[in-house]
Amino acid sequence: MTGAASQAYGEAWYWDERYRKEPGPFDWYQKYPALAPLLRLYVRPHQRLLLVGCGNSVFGENMVQDGYQDVVNIDISSVVIEQMKKKYHDKPQLKYTKMDVRNMSDFESGSFDAVIDKGTLDSIMCGQNSQEHAAKMLGEVNRILNDKGVYIMITYGDPSYRLNLLKDLQFWTVKLHVIADRWERSSKKTWDLTEPLPLQDDSASIINLLGPKPDVHYIYVCIKENDSARVDLKAEVNEQNYS
């Protein structure tokens, strides 16, 4: 993939063109069966969940087959959304809407229990004005999640690239899980997907644990704090600073 192409990842025209040429199903990073044990820890089958940047993945279909009842899918590409609406017209548990994750104003605040992101933030981080667009996306994710809602991000971005971005917003508490890159399953080192890694304020502890350039995907589980708890926490910190 050329640098010019990766910089267009946040543009609708790029994905429209790509999905016209490549209509077959494709799952970024990880497929549902590999992630299912982790998702079951944080998302219940009756809860309303959102898959952002769904593309033509079968991830949502697999979730419905596994008992999830309300799976909303969005993508910036009108081409792929129309393809998926036709494909799943007989599955009411799956809903597809064209939408930019940086502006989800059609969704009411607090209307989802979970948001799942496989590579969408990564694609935004490849483009121009990446920090600004990433902040818009994460702000919208936070807005549409209800209190104690969860944002699950599967990414190549290790903590030195992603942790500060997530924590600086002060929206949520963050847990980190890892899973072997699906193309590197022959690796001798394995990790328990369902056990979070010890996460400190910097990335040093993770680097020491995993070693340099591990063949893993990082899974950040961000649990939204309710507004009153966040206000209380800030007040406590301020009191400590001035006492």
- Rounded Cα distance between 53 and 60, Å, is 12
- Higher-pLDDT residue of 61, 191: 61
Q: What number does CATH give the domain 12-183+191-241?
A: 3.40.50.150
pTM: 0.88
Flag whether pLDDT at 183 surpasses 60: no
Per domain, the residue ranges of the chain are 12-183+191-241
In this structure, the number of other CB atoms found within 10 A of the CB of residue 146 comes to 16
Contact 196, 222 (CB under 8 A): no
Per-residue CA distances from 50 to 117, 201, 228, 233 (Å): 9, 29, 25, 28
Please provide the average confidence, as pLDDT, over all residues in the chain: 87
Flag whether pLDDT at 232 surpasses 50: no
Task: Indicate the SS3 state at residue 114.
Answer: strand
The 10s digit of each residue's pLDDT in 29-75 is: 999 999 999 999 999 999 999 999 999 999 999 999 999 999 999 99
Lowest mean pLDDT across 16-20, 163-167, 227-231: 227-231
- Rounded Cα distance between 90 and 106, Å, is 24
User: In one letter, which amino acid is 11?
Assistant: E
The 10s digit of each residue's pLDDT in 97-135 is: 999 999 999 999 999 999 999 999 999 988 788 899 999
Per-residue CA distances from 178 to 41, 63, 77, 125, 202 (Å): 14, 20, 29, 20, 17
